[in-house]
Structure 1
Amino acid sequence: MQLHNKNILLAISGGIAAYKTPDLVRKLTALGANVRVVLTTSAKAFVSPLSLQAVSGNPVHDSLLDPAAEAAMGHIELAKWADILLVAPATANIMAKLALGIADDLLTTLFLATTARLYLAPAMNQQMWQAPATRRNYALLTQMDVTMIGPASGEQACGDVGYGRMSQPEDIVAELVGAQEHVTCGDFSDKTVLITAGPTREALDPVRYITNHSSGKMGYAIAQAAQRAGARVILVSGPTQLATPAGVERIDVTSAQQMLETVMAHVKSCDIFIATAAVADYRASHISQNKIKKKDDELTLTFVKNPDILKEVACLPTPPFTVGFAAESQNVEHYARQKLINKKLDIIAANDISREGLGFNSDQNALHVIWADGDKRLEPQNKKHLACALLTVINDRYNNKKTS
């Protein structure tokens, strides 16, 4: 196994998600990892040191100066021992400290003292996750080669719903396992990749709009993977709560028309266009200047078709290598092949949104990648790993087209 004999230092900060950490330790040790645990003072209010000691088989550390350690410098010994330092949960407070280089306890000191690979699993209230300060700290940490795992979206302990939940232990473990596999997505050096992601919002009045369930996770994962593979990445994003991947140029838009205008302004400079965004097919023919009042039992609205961004790009005189997505609930392959032909695409990636636990708002997905004379099925997996698998196919087909 990829984690066999890996030394993993799990640093737990004081969030309610700390209750998940004994299960996380158990899953890591089941794969053969050597796990040691560090607790902040506040973390001990949420999880028992004794339970963590029992599942890890090692003493739990919570003091910067450990009398039992050599020269009472336990933090240096732990920092040198670790192959991986995983902070889970990583609260907004801990993220702020780590981003600024503050070292006032064992956890934050270890972060500065280690040469281990660094991972954070953020966990906080959804409003704290959206706060500008947290977004800034997230960006700073990713620039410091810290790999972020999550957060996930869903109902939170406080009753709010949104992004901020710590990823499940199995997803954290999958991320660590995947990182050891050294999977390459191909060489995208000297290539510019233009990606659309997320939903669009089409206004009805100053208060209401129509949209869809797209989270943007797939597009953001592709953007991150392409950037790490050497590409210059321009990400045109509809409204999401996701943080911008490190090194990616992000342009925020709201409506389908705005997305089209932004794409057309940048498409001539790109080599590859990947359209993952779930663009609304229709928009209101008239946007009310005032809030539509509730009067009758029925309300009739008239809609007009939105521009087809993908088709407009593919039909340019000299289009980039164009990759479309088809989210379908029935006859998935049939509709995807029609879309591939009708829109003159190089590749289409089809996903079956009727499959439970995959697609919209999930961290997992599966794709059936289709081109004119072939296809490849990418089995269900974490979207970050799926992004790399998809880019491998894109890179192969792109190079094949260039040499043919």
Structure 2
Amino acid sequence: MDSLKNKKILFCVCGGAAAYQAPELVASLNAEGAEVTALATPDVSDWVSLRLLERLVVKLVADPAELADNSNGFSSWVLLLSNDLSEPARTWLIAALQHMAEGMAEDDRPAVVCLGSEVAAEQVALSNLSSRIKQTGGVVTLLVGDNQLPRFDPIAVIAAIVRGGTKPALAGKRVLVTAGPTFEDIDPVRFIGNRSSGKMGFAVAVAAWQAGAEVILITGPVSLSAPHGMATTWVRSASDMLLAVEAVIGDQDVYISSAAVADYRPAQVAEAKIKKGEEQFNLQLVANPDLLKQVAGRQSPPFCVGFAAETERVEEYARGKLVSKNLQMIAANQVGAEVGGFESDQNRLHLFWPGGDRRLPWSSKTEQARQLIETIAERFEVWNCQDNVKHEG
């Protein structure tokens, strides 16, 4: 978890209902490797413990004038604001924003994440900070919370910083990601499923969004919240997922099939719960459509990336699927009780493509997803050039 490693971030917090979340957000930035300096209005202590905040940051600053000297070299700013700002706090905030703008170097490419609602946009607009940032290619992101008691997803904040402060490898690209398991109903109570948690697929979707892509996430039943910044469609069965994919696939540049789609489904679904009867119960299964193979077999397919979760002979099976399904890349990993994969927060992917491969070191699924997207961006450019030459020929 080091997506913000060695990044110096200024966290500006104003007194108001949103201030209560400052320690949680700062702790989340710290967990990603950031070095956080906090700038707090005088009335923040009415809402949150300054002693706690001070323990979490490199430095706690009270005077905006200290920002005039940009020797700290902040790469990003987070503004935690509320609609119930007092007039002194508003004046203080505008002064702080002006100092930020004056301290910017010509080559700065900061990301600014405004947490609040209309007040955040209003205060940033009153300074020349927003225009200065956009001139350098930086990004201003507004995350809106509930007006009564705002709460912001730390993952969304981190994603906005990463996306805004780096050159996006997939800028302008449209990426479709499938995630999670599919459930195939036997009756109204029982179903056939698998142990996929969706964590890897969600991490891939977030990493693609951070890389600048326009992302659509189609997911089976999982206990995860929809990621910030993308359209998310929830489905249940393989047939549901196929319909959802077919509805949008024609516009996609990249298709990443990380969902653990059930290979089989019951031939018939009972309308009522099946009662216990004989000692044996025979369930007839029929094959589900191979969703990934269908997409890869289209007349003008996107760049297709498959996943292969295997218990044995991982490389052999992965290379076989790469060829048999006509994929541009496949991400393989071993699953089992002692090697991560399903339900685990850790993973180790081995990426294969025609003529090459890359073995990723053991790390968090967030880091695995980041490196996977990085490799996809590289291979997409190669594939796209080859595809263009082919069509021109």
Query: Which bracket does the TM-score occupy, shorter chain normalised?
Result: 0.5 to 0.7
2:219 is aligned with 1:237: yes
1:371 Cα deviation from its structure 2 partner: 1.4
Alignment of 1:5-404 (within 5 A): 6-9=9-12, 32-37=35-40, 44=48, 48-56=49-57, 57-58=59-60, 64=85, 73-80=91-98, 98-99=116-117, 101=118, 115=129, 149-150=154-155, 178=162, 182-186=166-170, 189=172, 193-223=175-205, 226=208, 233-240=215-222, 241-243=224-226, 245-246=228-229, 248=231, 250-268=232-250, 270-294=252-276, 300-316=282-298, 319-354=301-336, 359-360=341-342, 365-379=347-361, 380=363, 382=366, 385-386=370-371, 388-402=373-387, 403=389
CA contact (8 A) 1:84 1:119 kept: no
Distance change >3 Å, CA 212–CA 109, structure 1 → 2: farther
After alignment, is 276-285 or 31-40 more displaced?
A: 31-40
Question: For 1:229 and 1:119, how far apart are their aligned partners in 2?
Answer: 18
Alpha-carbon RMSD: 4.8
Tell me, in whole angstroms, the C-alpha distance in 1 between the residues paired with 2:358 and 2:352. 7
1:164 matched residue in structure 2: none
- Structure 1 pair 242/398, CA: closer, same or farther in 2 (3 Å)? farther
Contact 1:7 1:81 in 2 (8 A): no
Given the superposition, is the C-alpha separation of residues 81 and 364 from structure 1 closer, same or farther in structure 2, using an over 3 Å criterion?
farther
- State how far apart, in whole Å, the 2-side matches of 1:273 and 1:317 are: 15
Residues 160, 210 of structure 2: 8 Å contact kept: no
Q: Distance in 2 between matches of 1:297 and 1:42?
A: 67
Shift of 1:368: 1.8
Measure how far apart 1:281 and its partner are: 1.7
CA shift digits 1:26-46 (9 cap, x unpaired): 769x865423357867853xx
CA distances 1:118-145 after superposition (whole Å, capped 9, x unpaired):
58799xxxxxxxxxx99xx99xx9xxxx
Q: Is the 8 A contact 2:183 2:238 kept in 1?
A: yes
Structure 1: gaps of 5 or more residues: 88-94, 123-132, 142-147, 152-171
Cα distance in 2 between the residues matched to 1:31 and 1:229: 19
Of all paired residues, the percent bearing the same amino acid is 32
The 1-side partners of 2:91 and 2:343 are apart by 45
Write the distance in 1 (CA, Å) between the matches of 2:312 and 2:19.
Answer: 42
1:386 deviates by: 3.4
- Evaluate the alpha carbon distance shift between residue 242 and residue 362 of structure 1 in structure 2; reply closer, same or farther with a 3 A threshold: farther
C-alpha separation in 2, matches of 1:339 and 1:277: 15
Q: Which runs of 5+ in 2 are unaligned?
A: 64-80, 101-109, 131-139
2:70 alignment partner in structure 1: none
Q: 1:292 to 1:339 in 2, by over 3 A?
A: same
SS of aligned partner of 2:12: strand
Task: Report if aligned partners of 2:28, 2:154 keep a CA contact under 8 Å in 1.
Answer: no
Q: Structure 2: how far apart are the matches of 1:332 and 1:220?
A: 23
- Conservation of the 8 A alpha-carbon contact between 1:323 and 1:345: yes
CA contact (8 A) 1:8 1:86 kept: no
Q: How many equivalent residue pairs?
A: 339
Describe the superposition over 1:199-236 as per-residue Cα deviations: whole angstroms up to 9, x where unpaired: 21211212332323434454445455556767665544
Give 1:256 deviation, angstroms.
Answer: 0.7
Normalising to structure 2: TM-score of the pair?
Answer: 0.64
- The 1:40–1:366 alpha-carbon spacing in structure 2 relative to 1, beyond 3 Å, is farther
